[in-house]
Amino acid sequence: MNNLTIGALILIAIVVLPYLFLSFRKLSRHNMPFFKAFNPSYNLKRFEADELKKSLSPIITEMETKRVSNFINHWTAKFENNKLNVEDVKMLNELLATGKEDQVNGILALHPQAMAQYTAINKDLNPVVAEPENPHFEKSDSVY
């Protein structure tokens, strides 16, 4: 071996050995997964945050499930007890105006009579007014 090869090996050892010692220390002290311990950007704070996220995940999932079930029960009870009122219809119309048709369709799909109740109240709320015919305007059959 020549001096250049020996120098390169010593330089590599100077860089790699501290990295390996620190990685093995993270692996043994904090019970990190093997590949995460050797990731230089993965530190103890990030590991603790991931562990906390894992421990809170079932609680958050349960809270979201309860929130969704309460939402469904709220709207289903309104439709079953015929307690859908004008304010609810106005709120659904506002959702439609903001482009949330999927949400309104999902709410109205919760009960078989929901669409009928909604249209009945909406018809009273927004009566359809026929436009009076203008005697000075005649429809043309021509196409431009």
Question: DSSP assignment of the chain, as one string?
Answer: --HHHHHHHHHHHHHHHHHHHHHHHHHHHH---HHHHT-TT--HHHHHHHHHHHHHHHHHHHHHHHHHHHHHHHHHHHHHTT---HHHHHHHHHHHHTT-HHHHHHHHTTSTTHHHHHHHHHHHHS---PPPPPTT--------
Tokens of 114: 């929901």
Q: Are 114 and 79 in contact (CB under 8 A)?
A: yes
pLDDT of residue 111: 87
- The four Cα atoms 131, 137, 140, 143 give a dihedral, to 10 degrees, of -80
CA distance 114 to 78: 9
From 41, 50, 46, 9, select the one nearest 22 (Cα to Cα): 41
Kindly give the confidence (pLDDT) of every residue in the chain, 144 residues in length, as a single tens digit, with 9 standing for 90 and above: 788 899 999 999 998 888 888 888 887 777 888 778 778 888 888 888 988 999 999 999 999 999 999 999 999 999 999 888 999 999 999 998 998 899 889 999 988 889 999 999 988 887 655 555 555 656 666 665
pLDDT of residue 64: 93
pLDDT of residue 69: 93
CA distance 104 to 110: 10
pLDDT of residue 2: 85
